[in-house]
Every structure is written in C-alpha cells, then in structure tokens.
C-alpha cells in the first residue's frame, strides 16, 4: 500500500472517530462551555477586561534547550497584546519528567501548560485539567476551522469519552523521516574507503577513522568515529539500525512498540534488537562510540558534531539536517548514508517512517481546571492557530525585531536566512521560536517559501524515499490515531513505568559493561519485561490497533 493510501486510511479512521465523539449521548452537539467559565469581576464575556487591564495568566512551557527566553520573542509579545493577556512564563528545558509528578500531585498548576502533558496525565490526575472541547466550540474559531479542515487533528486530541484536554498541531511540510545518517566524506577519502553498505563495512570504516587521523590535524586520538543522542528510541539514536534487520519502525516511539504483519510487537524483547545491541557492544569495546553518547544532552550532541573550527570531530552520526547538525563551517564535509544492511545477505531493509509524528502532534496546550478566566485563556490558545502566528510559532516572528519571516504583498510568506549570520537556519529556528514544540496549524495551501535548511532536508532524506513507497498499513504503527479507555490508558502508563526501569537498566549496560553477556542474560531479561507488564500492554495495544485496522481495510 502506498503512503498516500495509508494517509487516506488514517484520515478515514479519524473522521469516523470524530463523528462518534462529536455528539452527546442524546445525539445533540454541545454548545455551552462546561466547568467554571465565569470571567470574574471586571471581565466581559469577550474575555477582555472592562477596566482595560490585561488578563493575567500563568503558563509553563517545556522548551528545547536551544530556545531563548520567550519573553524576548516579539511575535509572542504581540500575540499577548492582541489577546489582551499578560502571561507569566515558567520555562523548563530539562528534567521535566522528574519535576512534573510533584507539581501535578500538588494540584496547583499554572493556567496553561505548553508541551508539558501526556494523555496518561489526564487519567492519573483526574480533575486537574479542563476539558477544552466546549471552550473551543465557544471561543476558538481558528481551532474550529482546523478541525473542519483536518478532522484527523481533532481525532488525535479527543479521548474515547469525547473530551479534549490538549490541543493538537499540524505542520504539513515536514518529510517522511526524522533522522538522517551522515558520514564525513572527507574522512572517507582520507582513509581511502568507500561508503559502507553493511554493519561490517561500517565497523571497518569506523576503525579507520579512529586509527588513521581521519581529520588530518596530526592528533590520531581526537576523532569520534560514531556518535548518537541519548536513549535507544530517539530520532538520532541506535534505533535507526533496527531497519537494517528489516524491522519497520514508526517513530520516534518511546516504549519500543511497532507493528508487523498486523501484530503489535515490542522491539526491546525482539531478537533483532539484541543483534543491534551486540553490534553496538562490539563497536564500544573497540572504542568507536563517543563515551558520552549515552548521557549527553542535545546541546552537547550538537556542539561536538560542530568540531573545532574547521576540524571535524565526528565521523558517523544521525541528525535532522546537515547545517543544523554540523554548522555552517563543516556542513559540506558530510553526506547522507543510505540505510545499511545487517549483512551482505540481508534481503530487506527499512527506515523509520515518521511522517505522522513529524507533522501531527497532540497535547500542545492544556489548561488548568482552576484557571480563573477560561475564556481569555482559550482565546489566547486559539491565537496560536492563526495563519501568520502559527508560522511565527514554528519559524520565528514576522517583524523587524525577530526578523525571521517576510510577508509579501500577495500574502505569501518567505522564511528568511538567520539574522545572526553565525547561526545555521535550524539552530536559528529553535532559538527564535517555540518551533516544533508549539501549538501550530500550517495550512496546506499556504504560499510559503521555506528556508535553505528545509530545502536541504528534502534532498538529504531522498536516499530513503524508495523504502517508503510500498508501506502497508499492517506494518505501520500509528500510535497517535489509536484510542484507549481511561482504564487502559492508566494501565498502560503504570505498566510502562515498570517496563522502562528494566529496559533502561539493561540495554546501555549490555553495550558498555564488558562483564555483561547479552546472550546469557537475554531469556531471563525478556521474561522479566513481559512479567513487568509488557504482556498486558501488548494485549491492550493490539485491541486498539485491530480497531484501527478495521477502518483501514
């Protein structure tokens, strides 16, 4: 089945879900906002202060580590002014998963939460968050139009009970995969080797990078043959090597779930995952992997790849786009690597199919049930989904201060080169805006000229295009389109916490600890993970996936 047919099937699934959840039990549509929507003293029903004072709101934003202080973003200041609100921002760029439980358990959260919640939070902390559906119907014309144009976007953020606790995003212009494999072509030339096509060939190239002063600076010990970012299931991680075994990943997908021939599986208990770990262990023991690969944050991951002046430090890695990954000085040294085969005899290879996770998203903005002015807060949320504002959320402001977007007389938009000429376009975007972490609706029919980085993304990732041509719905795991009851959501979350403890204690230790024997420990490890809740989670996810497949036939 072609990718376009997959999307049509998902759209059909989403439209059916929307039709089912759009009515109350008696078949009527809801037209009034629920909960406490009183505007408080001195407030009009339009959400504006009758005294002329701005409505004060508090908000948390879980932002990228590169993102600057949001209070310095002119486009955001303009939006607050337009919506007549004054927002006190709490900005978090690290350790939110550790900080969140205590805050949510206290019951005292800010009025708005940007990219700070998950579906399981609404179940675990029942009553803490406001159902936005009736507020959207009253006060959010942009979101209403978005749901009309993209019913699948509404389906993504709507629970089985017909509630909306977090708004969605849709970016429309992103590619089919996230992480591209890169290799330093100058290093390949320096060690007189060809582009690797198998794991063994990659290992040989990495050894040459390490032993032959590949960057040519006279220091044979400063090369990092391979680098990746953090955990196993990230976009720029070892997960991408699973495709070398013929496993089709739909990701990034924390937890390791994937679909194969209509069956939901988990790669953390799959023999092919073990083979990737054993290959990585071999590379680690040979000193071919960055010693900080398992612990470095994204900023460190980026800075290492940008080398020292004109001297590159990293030979083989993954990233979004070359300029973003290696910076303006080193960018031309690197080329894309087609997916590797596990062995020369491997018949089928795959690559992570990320179109839905890149272009769609849920839980962009949530609201506290205790928010004193829900109308003003909802109108502010809706402001992010304005055509121009959504572009500013993604790329930065269209004004003389932010200098990120130019608006033509014909209503067209052009993404400008970085005002800071020392920055590459990708870094500039993540610095200047909420970027992919924000509430966004990029219209399909927008007259938009993207920046050089996005133009490069299309070209660089074209080496994987043929791997996406014949994808079947039985091999696509569209997690965001699958629905679970509140009980199942709670069960999945509790089980996954136990599963993650075992997984995270095992895979990196197998790679880095010479005393650990993957083969000897494997069977006991698999059984412990299954017993920790994976058996039940697979059953729950299979049930939801089967419902999805019925609509995709």
- CA pair distance 223, 549, nearest whole angstrom: 48
Q: What was the pLDDT predicted at 472?
A: 83
The whole-number pLDDT of residue 252 equals 66
Count of CB atoms within 10 A of residue 295's CB?
10
How large is the C-alpha radius of gyration of the chain?
24
Of 443, 392, 355, 437, nearest to 146 by C-alpha is: 443
Whether pLDDT at 28 is above 50 = no
Q: What phi, psi does 172 have (nearest 5°)?
A: 70, -30
Cβ neighbours of 218 (radius 10 Å): 7
The distance of Cα 514 from the centroid of its chain, to the nearest Å, equals 33
Q: What is the mean pLDDT of residues 422-440?
A: 93
Mean pLDDT over the full length of the chain: 89
Mean pLDDT, residues 100-124: 95
- Asked which of 10-24, 204-218, 439-453 is least confident by mean pLDDT, the reply is 10-24
Would you say residue 17 has pLDDT above 70? no
Residue corresponding to tokens 């070892």: 238
pLDDT confidence of 22, banded at 50, 70, 90? very low
State the pLDDT at residue 553.
56
The mean pLDDT value for 45-60 works out to 71
Residue 311 has pLDDT above 80, yes or no: yes
User: Which alpha helices (DSSP H) does 286-345 contain, by range?
Assistant: 298-305, 322-330
Terminal-to-terminal C-alpha distance of the chain? 11
Helix, strand, coil abundance in the chain, percent, nearest 5 = 45, 15, 40
The answer, yes or no, to whether residue 210 has pLDDT greater than 80, is: yes
pLDDT over 80 (residue 18): no
Q: What is the pLDDT of residue 268?
A: 97
Question: pLDDT tens digits for 212-258?
Answer: 999 999 998 999 999 999 788 889 999 999 999 999 998 767 799 99
Q: Could you give all domains of the chain from N- to C-terminal order, each with its CATH number?
A: 3-172+359-395+430-446 (3.40.190.10), 180-352+474-552 (3.40.190.10)
Of the listed ranges 19-28, 256-265, 418-427, the least confidently predicted one is: 19-28
Q: What is the pLDDT of residue 479?
A: 86
DSSP class of 267 = G
**Residue 75, helix vs strand vs coil:** helix
Indicate if the pLDDT at residue 346 is higher than 90. yes
Residue 522's closest CA among 269, 172, 198, 293? Answer: 269
pLDDT at position 136: 98
List of residues 6+ apart from 426 with CB closer than 8 A: 320, 321, 323, 324, 453
Rounded to an integer, what distance in angstroms lies between the CA atom of residue 301 and that of residue 66? 12
Is the confidence at residue 27, as pLDDT, over 60? no
- The contacts of residue 155 (CB under 8 Å, 6+ apart) are 13, 14, 15, 17, 18, 21, 481
- Averaged pLDDT, 376-385: 98
Paired tokens of 67: 């993102």
Q: What is the SS3 assignment for 77?
A: helix
pLDDT at 13 over 50: no
pLDDT exceeding 70 applies to what percent of the chain? 90
* Per-residue model confidence as pLDDT tens digits over 447-463: 999 998 899 999 999 99
Band of residue 44 on the pLDDT scale cut at 50, 70, 90: very low
Contact at 8 Å (CB) between 111 and 377? yes
Length of the chain: 553
Number of other CB atoms surrounding residue 488 within 10 Å: 19
Distance CA 498, CA 163 (A): 28
167 class by beta-carbon count within 10 Å (0-12 exposed, 13-18 middle, 19+ buried): buried
For the chain, what percent of residues have pLDDT higher than 90? Answer: 76
pLDDT value, residue 21? 36
CA distance 316 to 308: 16
pLDDT value of position 26: 34
- Return d(Cα 31, Cα 39) in angstroms, integer: 18
Average pLDDT value for residue range 274-300: 95
Residues 76 and 389: their CA atoms lie apart, in Å, by 9
Range from 40-49, 114-123, 135-144, 277-286 carrying the lowest mean pLDDT? 40-49
Provide the pLDDT for residue 550.
79
Question: Token pair for residue 487?
Answer: 């009980």
Q: Where are the alpha helices (DSSP H) in 84-165?
A: 96-106, 119-124, 133-139, 141-149, 151-157
């Amino acid at each position: 089945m072609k990718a376009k047919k997959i999307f049509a099937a998902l759209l059909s699934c989403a439209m059916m879900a929307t039709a089912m959840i759009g009515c109350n039990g008696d078949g009527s549509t809801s037209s009034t906002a629920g909960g406490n929507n009183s505007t408080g003293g001195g407030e009009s029903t339009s959400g504006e202060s009758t005294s002329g004072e701005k409505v004060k709101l508090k908000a948390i934003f879980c932002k990228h580590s590169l993102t600057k202080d949001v209070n310095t973003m002119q486009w955001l200041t303009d939006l607050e002014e337009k919506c007549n609100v004054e927002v006190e921002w709490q900005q978090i760029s690290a350790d939110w998963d550790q900080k969140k439980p205590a805050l949510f358990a206290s019951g005292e959260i800010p009025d708005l939460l940007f990219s700070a919640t998950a579906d399981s939070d609404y179940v675990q902390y029942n009553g803490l968050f406001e159902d936005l559906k009736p507020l959207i119907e009253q006060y959010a014309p942009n979101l209403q139009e978005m749901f009309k144009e993209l019913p699948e976007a509404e389906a993504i953020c709507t629970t089985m009970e017909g509630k909306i606790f977090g708004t969605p995003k849709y970016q429309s212009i992103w590619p089919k995969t996230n992480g591209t494999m890169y290799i330093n072509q100058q290093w390949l030339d320096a060690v007189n080797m060809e582009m690797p096509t198998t794991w063994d060939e990659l290992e040989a190239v990495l050894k040459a990078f390490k032993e032959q002063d590949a960057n040519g600076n006279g220091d044979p010990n400063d090369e990092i043959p391979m680098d990746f970012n953090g955990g196993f299931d990230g976009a720029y991680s070892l997960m991408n090597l699973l495709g070398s075994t013929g496993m089709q990943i739909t990701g990034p997908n924390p937890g390791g779930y994937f679909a194969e021939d209509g069956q939901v599986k988990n790669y953390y208990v799959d023999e092919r995952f073990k083979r990737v770990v054993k290959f990585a262990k071999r590379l680690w023991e040979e000193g071919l992997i960055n010693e900080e690969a398992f612990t470095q944050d994204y900023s460190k991951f980026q800075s290492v790849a940008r080398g020292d002046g004109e001297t590159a430090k990293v030979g083989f890695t993954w990233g979004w786009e070359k300029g973003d990954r290696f910076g303006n000085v080193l960018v031309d040294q690197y080329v894309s690597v087609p997916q590797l085969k596990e062995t020369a005899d491997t018949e089928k290879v795959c690559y992570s199919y990320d179109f839905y996770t890149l272009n769609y998203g849920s839980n962009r903005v949530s609201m506290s049930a205790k928010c004193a002015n829900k109308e003003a807060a909802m109108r502010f949320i809706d402001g992010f989904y304005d055509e121009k504002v959504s572009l500013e959320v993604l790329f930065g402001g269209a004004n003389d201060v932010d200098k990120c977007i130019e608006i033509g007389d014909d209503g067209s938009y052009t993404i400008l080169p970085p005002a800071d000429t020392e920055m590459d376009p990708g870094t500039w975007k993540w610095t200047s805006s909420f970027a992919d972490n924000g509430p966004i609706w990029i219209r399909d029919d927008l007259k938009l000229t993207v920046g050089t980085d996005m133009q490069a993304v299309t070209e660089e990732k074209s080496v994987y295009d043929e791997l996406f041509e014949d994808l079947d719905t039985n091999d696509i795991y569209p997690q965001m389109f699958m629905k679970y009851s509140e009980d199942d959501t709670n069960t999945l979350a509790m089980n996954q916490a136990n599963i993650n403890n075992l997984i995270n204690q095992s895979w990196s230790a197998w790679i880095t600890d010479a005393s650990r024997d993957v083969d000897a420990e494997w069977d006991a490890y698999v059984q412990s993970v299954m017993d920790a809740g994976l058996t039940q989670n697979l059953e729950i996810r299979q049930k939801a996936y089967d419902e999805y497949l019925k609509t995709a036939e």
